[in-house]
Amino acid sequence: MIKDVDEMTEAILAIVGRTNVGKSTLLNRLAGRRLAIVADLPGTTRDRLFASVTWRGREMTLVDTGGYFPCPSLDSTKLPLHQKVASQIKTAITQADAIIFLVDGKDGIISADEEIAQMLRETGKPVVLVVNKIDSFKWEAQAANFYCLGAGQPIPISAYHNLGIERLLEAVLDLLPAPSEELSLPPEAKLAIVGRPNVGKSTLLNALLTEERAIVDDVPGTTRDSLDAVVQWHDKRISLIDTAGIKQRGKVARGIDYYSLLRALQAINRCDVALLMVDATEFVTAQDMHIASYIMELGRGIILAINKWDLIPMVQRREFQHLLSLRFRFLSYAPFLYISAKLREGTDRVLPEAWRIWQQRQKKVAQSQVDRAVKQAVSSHPPAVKGMRRLRIIRAYQDESSTASFVLAVNDPGLVYSSYQRYLEKQLRRSFGFQGVPLRLIFSKYRSKNRREPEMMQV
């Protein structure tokens, strides 16, 4: 069974308002870090974004929402996306314990604010009316004008300048229900869904959550921020991170696209396992290879998900798989999943595979076992002579400070051939597994008398 993050014991607090009133700025301020993209362009935030905040010992889950469009654009190509954003806002309100209704103190009350106020009154949910962009005393009187919205006493703040935030949080705590008893939670694996734009990342997220958490649209780049959602698979917790499509560096303009790229790379940085989605109808691009290399460099577990597999004719599939394995031969240790996120075919294998790789990354092997396995490998296939000298491995052990890293103390790190390093890696995998996890071999010069930290060389 999959449980959404909304079933957590933390109180859910939704930030709602029209476009460009500062919702994402407020989320970033309350979270203490830049989670949502902030730009002057109305409608920058489209999906629901989540952040955990603790105030006076009380944990809250903040939900940022897209800007409310009271009168959708007459452009028929934009209307469906506006409707999806409106649906996301309503979902956030329905699931929230309380609402932060954010308005713009400098703009004053406009019809969109009145429509939102009416919508919130109909829900019966507790509401905190917050007047943003009150940057100085001369603007505080303006906040009182918002009483007529019928949403309670207006609280003046400046999210950008960090003014009035404590008063806002105190008002929120007064409205929230009493906290439920905290539960002991099991370990949590973090799975980032990454790939080029429009390969089906958000569709897969929705399939795994069995709900429309991320907006799905045919327009490339619909997802701009990284979205987190915690699911419970059997008795295991997995945090899913959907990301914006990673474009080629030369095609990323400064602004929203640039920050979306940073969010995607940060998502890989903080995940345990990265699921790289590839569009089967476009085969493998250079950008797919670059993303895979980045995941490897960071030492994250990796799953290759070949999406839109249903669109590949049966007679071509075997040849496709052969060519794919050649293209990704540097990822021979990674599992390949052939899926259709849209039809939800093969998606049931994603969570079990992610959890298995997460477990592999936690694996610890005793020094005696590592040393024995490496020496057996050397005995079966000695290293080649380099000039007049041959590589000797004195001892080997797993590095406790780094995931899936092994230190091999040798007579001379310069005698290590890359082909022999690949051979040793293969033997370590054969002995200890580590499927889906890149192994890092560190060759250090063995010093028998000098007990100082050995000189390290990674090849």
Read off the pLDDT of residues 274-294 as tens digits, 9 standing for 90 and up: 999 999 999 898 888 888 888
The CATH superfamily assigned to 367-458 is K homology (KH) domain (3.30.300.20)
What per-residue confidence (pLDDT) applies to 88? 64
* 263 compared with 22, residue with greater pLDDT: 22
CATH no., domain 188-361: 3.40.50.300
> 32-41, 383-392, 410-419: lowest mean pLDDT where?
32-41
At 61 the pLDDT is 76
What does the pLDDT look like over 236-253, one tens digit per residue? Answer: 888 888 776 665 544 444
What percent of the chain lies above the pLDDT cut of 70? Answer: 74
> Angle, to 10 degrees, between the axis of helix 367-380 and the axis of helix 418-432?
130
For position 263, what pLDDT does the model report? 60
Nearest residue to 30 (alpha-carbon basis) of 41, 45, 14: 14
Q: What pLDDT score was predicted for residue 4? A: 39
Domains 5-175 and 188-361 share a fold: yes
Interval 325-354: pLDDT, tens: 999 999 999 999 999 999 999 999 999 999
Domain borders along the chain are 5-175, 188-361, 367-458
Say whether pLDDT at 216 is over 80.
no
Span 416-428, average pLDDT: 93
pLDDT at residue 426, rounded to an integer: 94
Residue 248's pLDDT is 54
Residue 191's beta-bridge partner residues?
A: 240, 273
Average pLDDT over residues 299-304: 94
Tokens of 40: 């002057």
Mean pLDDT score across all residues of the chain = 79
H helices of 298-366, where?
A: 314-327, 350-361
Categorize the per-residue pLDDT at 442 as very low, low, confident or very high, splitting at 50, 70 and 90. very high
Phi, psi of 388 (to 5 degrees): -105, 5
- Specify the pLDDT at position 86: 67
Average pLDDT rounded to a whole number, residues 373-387: 92
Range of weakest confidence among 103-117, 177-191, 383-397, 420-434: 177-191
Judged by average pLDDT, the poorest of 48-57, 78-87, 89-98, 265-274 is 78-87
Q: Where are the beta strands (DSSP E) in 48-158?
A: 49-55, 58-64, 98-104, 127-132, 155-156
Pick 123 or 59 by higher pLDDT. 123
Give the Cα separation of 185 and 196 in Å (integer). 34
Range 5-175 classified under CATH 3.40.50.300: yes
Secondary structure (DSSP) of 166-194: HHHHHHHHHHSPPPPPPP-PPPEEEEEEE
Lowest mean pLDDT among 27-31, 349-353, 408-412: 27-31
Give the amino acid at 391: L
Interval 122-160: pLDDT, tens: 888 888 899 988 887 767 777 788 888 888 888 898 888
pLDDT at 10: 62
CB atoms within 10 A of CB 397: 17
With b for 16 or more beta-carbon neighbours within 10 A and e for fewer, the 286-302 pattern comes to ebbeebbebbbeebbbb
Quick count: other Cβ atoms within 10 Å of Cβ 409? 20
Which position has the higher pLDDT, 315 or 3?
315
Residue 458 pLDDT = 38
Mean pLDDT across 207-214: 72
Higher-scoring residue by pLDDT: 437, 28: 437
Residue 170 has pLDDT above 70, yes or no: yes
Tell me what pLDDT residue 1 has: 38
End-to-end CA gap in the chain: 44
Kind of pairing, strands 385-386 and 336-338?
Answer: unpaired
